[in-house]
């Protein structure tokens, strides 16, 4: 098995950070009366998806 790359480490850290962020937003949204519109997801989800795809491609490339 190959050593984990910096991109994969950043991807893992982004996912952990996103989970923490989601927890805090979830706690905050309980205090709101109206609908909560999550504009932050427009930026967060594509970045995480791109990083996950790059990390998976690196894993597949290193296995060959």
Task: Answer yes or no: is 54 within a domain.
Answer: yes
Task: Answer yes or no: is 58 within a domain.
Answer: yes
Task: Answer yes or no: is 16 within a domain.
Answer: no
Per-residue pLDDT at 64 exceeds 80: no
Distances, alpha carbon 10 to alpha carbons 21, 27, 54, 56, in Å = 16, 26, 11, 13
Task: Answer yes or no: is 1 within a domain.
Answer: no
Q: Are 51 and 14 in contact (CB under 8 A)?
A: yes
Model confidence band, residue 1 (pLDDT cutoffs 50, 70, 90): low
Q: Please name the residue ranges forming H helices in 2-64.
A: 6-29, 41-63
The predicted model scores a pTM of 0.84
Looking at the 3D structure of the chain, how many domains does it have?
Answer: 1
pLDDT in tens, 7-63: 999 999 999 999 999 999 999 999 998 888 999 999 999 999 999 999 999 988 887
pLDDT in tens, 7-17: 999 999 999 99
Task: Answer yes or no: is 26 within a domain.
Answer: no
Range of the domain at 57: 39-63
């Amino acid at each position: 098995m190959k050593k984990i790359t910096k991109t994969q480490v950043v991807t893992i850290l982004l996912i952990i950070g996103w989970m923490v962020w989601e927890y805090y937003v979830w706690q905050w949204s309980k205090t709101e009366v109206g609908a909560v519109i999550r504009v932050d997801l427009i930026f967060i989800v594509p970045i995480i998806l791109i990083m996950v795809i790059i990390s998976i491609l690196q894993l597949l490339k290193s296995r060959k």
